[in-house]
Structure 1
Amino acid sequence: MDAIATELGTSRSTVSRLLSFARAEGIVEVRVRSPLDAPGLVETHLRRQFGVRAQVIPVPESVSDLERLDRVAQGAAQLLDELIVSELVVGIAWGSTLAAVARRLTPKRVHGTTFVQLNGSGNVKTSGITYASELLSRFSTAYSGDAEQFPVPAFFDDPETRRALWRERSTRRILDIQSRMGLVLFSVGAFQAEVPSRVHAGDYLEPADLEQLKSERVVGDVATVFYRANGSTEGIALNERGSGPSFDLLRAVPRRCCIVTGEAKIPSLRGALAAGLITDLVIDERTARALVGADEAS
């Protein structure tokens, strides 16, 4: 109060009365927080527990889930300003989270950078080309780069169709670009997320698919590749029909940035961490604290 009084050129008692009034009106809130809740210390915990570079975004408890996503997207966009450099191939997994990040990008001129779509976006109701094109376009425009779409279905009806198309030269050209990625950007899909994962809420999965994934103990997906809590993908039938990259390919990429908001995504996030898919994590503070607590309790 002495410091405030000095700054405002008034008395300490006046400051005391103003603060009392502000607290009574709900304008000012005094709250004691554990030092362990500070974003910097949570980032340290995440690095020690999971071996990732973490950026924890402070978000007020009172904001909506959409606002929380927007604030994390803004933090991710700031990090990408450092990660995206010239002569880099960047893999983009489409979805609600990356769409939010794309809207927050700050233009930066780089040279020879290519943004490639990681997985197909078509389903029985739409080709997905317009949606994927807009997402890639935002990235390529912000960084003066090239955009490479992957115009295939998210999931094929028949695994043999996928294997045949993967032999085509036009498809292999995109797969070759993916093999040269230096950075991938993705979120994790979850079945009960606060902001619904697009692949789970956009006519990509039939009821029978969801039942099968449940029976196979699937907790989430990255770029339409599904996995269990321990990060394993073996024996998950839908992956035979999916268009997403193998986890071996993703793990070979030097920087793998995952952007996550919402406690409902914690089981899926833990599975992705167990699979070794993440080197960099952008996450809101509340979800980060819940992740640290869940891991310590397990």
Structure 2
Amino acid sequence: MYYLQDLTMDAIARELRTSRSTVSRLLSLARQTGLVQISVNNPTERAPVLEQQIRRRFGVEAHVVPVADSVSDSEALERVAIQAARTISPLMDSNAIIGVAWGSTLSAVSHHLTRKDIHDSTIVQLNGAGNTQTTGITYASEILRRFGQAYGARVEQFPVPAFFDHAETKRAMWNERSVRRILDLQHRMTVAVFGVGSIDAGIPSHVYSGGYLDDEDLAQLAEDEVVGDVATMFFREDGSHRDILLNQRSTGPDLDRLREVRRRICVVSGETKINGLRGALAAGLATDLILDEASARRLVQLAADEQPGAPARLAGTSRADR
């Protein structure tokens, strides 16, 4: 009545024999649950041009969120999270296994998910969240719970630390049947949703601010020339990652295997994450990218500044591999 028949709320209230405020609440509920989705076609919008440029340069489906440069980092994240939640929902299908990473960005996204009823699907945690100060269960489980609630999906947590103290411990744990059950779900993922972690982000990535890494770990990351991470698996700006020592102790998904997932949705907010984003794109980790306009402009500009005759580097290979 409101959107298709152009009736006013007063007219709808009279026809339904209810109050105008009830009609207003129903319209709000329709938007919140995804029954109604609103799009704006702005002829002066720069986002579509940036999306096309990112698509051509990096081979990903890009969604650029218009955000003014004057907006704070926290407000920009909120706007990107709202758009990401609305973009993600139509991509979710029944009989799916959906891997979800934890972090500041995904936490924000999870608060704005619109409900979509899918059947026989599973939300699986991509990486452990425990450290020496906390189990991480409450933080990570809240993100997973919101995803499961939005899509009516089962939730499978991964109750292991984010990083083991020793690589040998990880190898032993990965042979345990209870752990292998979760790993098997991850290996059969049809969709993965994640952000990009960065040490220098305007809003610090949770893995760097939440007590997961000590000074020795950070020094090792600097020595390995790490620019960012996806689900606590680290990489360099050229996408190489296989010889990074901390990855041997991380409980995140193997990045080579992550690239095999059919749909990989990356959400990024903040121009300070640009080096991490470039590394993730060089590693071929994303099929879909949702990011703010300033980051999109910077990404396109850096790509344009690169020398066209420079030899391409192989994504996912280490310096030693090359």
TM tier relative to shorter chain: 0.7 to 0.9
8 A Cα contact 1:190 1:219, kept in partner: yes
Out of 243, 262, 271, which is 2:251 matched to?
A: 243
Give 1:114 deviation, angstroms.
0.5
Point out where structure 2 has 5 or more consecutive residues left out of the alignment. 1-42, 307-322
8 A Cα contact 1:115 1:148, kept in partner: yes
SS across alignment from 1:193: coil
The TM-score, its normalising length taken from structure 2, stands at: 0.81
Q: Are 1:188 and 2:203 counterparts?
A: no
Partner of 2:133: 125
Out of 73, 79, 84, which is 1:71 matched to?
A: 79
Which runs of structure 2 are paired with 1:88-99 in the superposition (5 Å)? 88-99=96-107
Give 1:112 deviation, angstroms.
0.7
Out of 274, 293, 297, which is 1:289 matched to?
A: 297
SS across alignment from 1:220: strand
Q: Are 1:268 and 2:285 counterparts?
A: no
> Can you list the C-alpha shifts for 1:78-98, whole angstroms capped at 9, x where unaligned?
111111111110000100000
Partner of 2:227: 219
Out of 216, 220, 236, which is 1:228 matched to?
A: 236
Q: Check 1:205–1:143 CA distance in 2 against 1; reply closer, same or farther (3 A cut).
A: same
Q: Check 1:267–1:37 CA distance in 2 against 1; reply closer, same or farther (3 A cut).
A: farther
Q: Are 1:198 and 2:201 counterparts?
A: no
Distance in 2 between the 1:133 and 1:228 partners?
A: 29
> Can you list the C-alpha shifts for 1:137-196, whole angstroms capped at 9, x where unaligned?
000011111000000000000111110000000000000011110100001111110111
Name the % identity: 55
8 A Cα contact 1:266 1:287, kept in partner: yes
Distance in 2 between the 1:103 and 1:37 partners?
A: 27
Distance in 1 between the 2:140 and 2:199 partners?
A: 21
Give 1:234 deviation, angstroms.
2.1
Which runs of structure 2 are paired with 1:151-170 in the superposition (5 Å)? 151-170=159-178
Distance in 1 between the 2:181 and 2:59 partners?
A: 33
Which runs of structure 2 are paired with 1:14-33 in the superposition (5 Å)? none
> Can you list the C-alpha shifts for 1:244-272, whole angstroms capped at 9, x where unaligned?
00011111100000000111111110101
Partner of 2:157: 149
Distance in 1 between the 2:152 and 2:162 partners?
A: 27
8 A Cα contact 1:37 1:289, kept in partner: no
Point out where structure 1 has 5 or more consecutive residues left out of the alignment. 1-34
Partner of 2:35: none
Give 1:61 deviation, angstroms.
2.2
Q: Are 1:100 and 2:108 counterparts?
A: yes
Distance in 2 between the 1:166 and 1:152 partners?
A: 11
The structure carrying a bigger helix percent of its residues is: 1
> Can you list the C-alpha shifts for 1:14-65, whole angstroms capped at 9, x where unaligned?
xxxxxxxxxxxxxxxxxxxxx9971000000000000000000001222211
Letter in 2 for 1:253: V
Partner of 2:309: none
Partner of 1:50: 58
Out of 154, 164, 173, which is 2:181 matched to?
A: 173
SS across alignment from 1:107: coil
Q: Are 1:136 and 2:151 counterparts?
A: no
Partner of 1:86: 94
Out of 237, 257, 268, which is 2:265 matched to?
A: 257
Give 1:125 deviation, angstroms.
0.4
Structure 1 residue ranges, 4+ long, deviating more than 3 angstroms after superposition: none
SS across alignment from 2:300: helix
Q: How many residues align?
A: 264
